[in-house]
Amino acid sequence: MSRIRNAFKNGKAFIAYITAGDPSLEKTEEFIFELERAGADLIEIGIPFSDPVAEGEVIQAANVRALKSGTSVHGVFELVRSIRQKSEIPLVFLTYLNPVFHYGYEKFFAKSAEVGIDGIIIPDMPFEEQGELKDEAERHGIDIVSLIAPTSDERIEKITKASKGFLYIVSSMGVTGVRSEISTDVEAIVKATKAVSNTPTAVGFGISTPEQAARFAKVADGIIVGSAIVRIIEKHEASAGQHIYEYVKSIKSAMG
């Protein structure tokens, strides 16, 4: 069983996103261990990029801060290497096609496998255009996590059947960010995926409160929280660790 599947084996999975290098790589490592201590089952590590098109203002700002602090792709790989010396928590990169392309597909996925990454999410890569990148990822045992949006419709079956790791169900149209209300029929999307595959589903984009976490944990196999965690880091900077722990603990408890 892969580490990603392990995230879903003990009930509903809590998946946390954090931008590497905000405010520093050393602090990112500390915060990741706080996330794990609070009950996170899988961590998405954002590789900072200058044009993160799927992200709202909160995560865009985190990307800018991380790049200003000197965070590089090489530095993020070394962060993962350091984490792996102390933890077996599933780790997934969230990045954009440009950094992977410039690093070189073969080199990027070979390095990902070497340091202990389990999967990758690339929001600006259409499913139909995975091509060469998909081949390299599979060759090195890295799962490409596919996104299913409310507009996916007839593509849901095709994406689901080819899915690896878990399916990222996008709860809302637009960019990431905290939302007070989510009106998408997530249950129907999850049902459509379950009809053709047993790949776990996790709902993200906009989830920030214990009430939202409880609601979507009833529907899917897991939930994803990003902007709310990044906002805590933005507010408390280097001293965010305990605040992250307390917030994640409250969300995890609400999931039942």
Task: Domain 3-254: state its class.
Answer: alpha beta
Query: What are the tens digits of pLDDT across the range 95-117?
Result: 999 999 999 999 999 999 999 99
| Angle (nearest 5°) at CA 139 between 124 and 145 | 35
Stated length of the chain: 256
CA distance 15 to 35: 9
Longest dimension (CA), the chain: 46
Q: Where are the domains of the chain?
A: 3-254
| Angle (nearest 5°) at CA 199 between 193 and 201 | 65
Say what the pLDDT of residue 164 is: 93
What are the angstrom distances between the C-alpha of 203 and each of 9, 12, 13, 169, 216? Answer: 17, 11, 10, 5, 7
CA distance 43 to 41: 7
Query: What are the tens digits of pLDDT across the range 141-179?
Result: 999 999 998 777 779 999 999 999 999 999 765 444 444
| DSSP symbol at 222 | E
**Burial bucket for residue 95 (CB in 10 Å: 0-12, 13-18, 19+):** buried
Q: What is the pTM of this model?
A: 0.94
Say what the pLDDT of residue 37 is: 98
Query: What are the tens digits of pLDDT across the range 27-84?
Result: 999 999 999 999 999 999 999 999 877 677 999 999 999 999 999 999 999 999 999 9
CA distance 89 to 79: 14
184 has pLDDT over 90: no
CA distance 75 to 107: 15
Q: What is the mean pLDDT of the chain?
A: 92
Between 256 and 103, name the one with better pLDDT. Answer: 103
Can you tell me the mean pLDDT for 108-132?
94
Phi-psi region at 228: left, alpha or beta (left = phi > 0; alpha = psi -120 to 50): alpha
DSSP string computed for 98-110: HHHHHH-HHHHHH
